[in-house]
């Protein structure tokens, strides 16, 4: 069973609808013990790092998530679900899960034609092959809405990049975890392709 983490971070219904579109049977999960039995996990999120971490800890989802990743269960983080997977976020000056070494930084834009948050469609350029990104080509655009971006310490963790004043990591992966700064569930055909890839992924790279 695929479990979609419910930690009061929103956007769950659209993720579940997109899963249904690609034939992925998914249920919401707000309990750490239930999460430990997952075969596949989607870690979505819309909100702030500080409140997200408090909710994850309150529900026992933080430690359970670390355990399933150690077991090699495939996990897909989306937006905030990616950001809180690194070590620390500048948003609320928050220590986060530490699944991937690195920090989350706020956009500080000098250009007056660019706004924060970064919102809308933008190109995602793969840096290296990954099963979940199969069939995603340079020029393919996904939907973004975020004021913070990931800055991983390990270059090999960066799977794709996007340009918004400067280049930033828009897909990050390590072992059985992959996270996207963009929202595949809001990205039409290419987003569904990515979700279908995740549905077939065994967690191996």
Look at the chain and count its residues: 205
Q: Strand, helix or coil at 205?
A: coil
- Which residues have C-beta within 8 Å of that of residue 159, sequence separation ≥ 6? 126, 127, 128, 130, 133, 169, 171, 172, 173, 178
For 93, 117, 122, 185, the CA distances from 164, given in Å and listed in that order, are 23, 11, 8, 21
Residues designated catalytic:
79, 183, 185
Token duo for residue 1: 């069973």
CA distance 160 to 32: 30
């Amino acid at each position: 069973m695929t479990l979609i983490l419910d930690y009061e971070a929103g956007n769950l219904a659209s993720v579940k609808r997109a899963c249904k579109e690609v034939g992925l049977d998914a249920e919401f999960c707000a309990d750490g013990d239930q999460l430990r039995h997952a075969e596949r996990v989607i870690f979505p999120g819309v909100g702030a790092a500080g409140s997200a971490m408090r909710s994850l800890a309150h529900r026992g989802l933080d430690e359970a998530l670390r355990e399933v990743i150690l077991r090699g269960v495939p996990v897909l983080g989306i937006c905030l679900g990616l950001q809180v997977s690194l070590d620390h976020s500048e948003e609320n000056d928050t220590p986060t899960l530490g699944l991937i070494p690195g920090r989350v930084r706020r956009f500080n834009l000098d250009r007056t034609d660019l706004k924060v948050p970064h919102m809308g469609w933008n190109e995602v350029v793969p840096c290296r092959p990954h099963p979940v990104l199969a069939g995603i080509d340079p020029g393919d655009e996904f939907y973004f809405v975020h004021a913070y971006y990931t800055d991983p310490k390990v270059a090999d963790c960066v799977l794709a990049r996007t340009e918004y004043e400067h280049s930033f990591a828009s897909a990050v992966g390590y072992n059985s975890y992959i996270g996207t700064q963009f929202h595949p569930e809001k990205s039409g055909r290419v987003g569904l392709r990515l979700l279908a890839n995740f549905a077939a992924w065994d967690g191996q790279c």
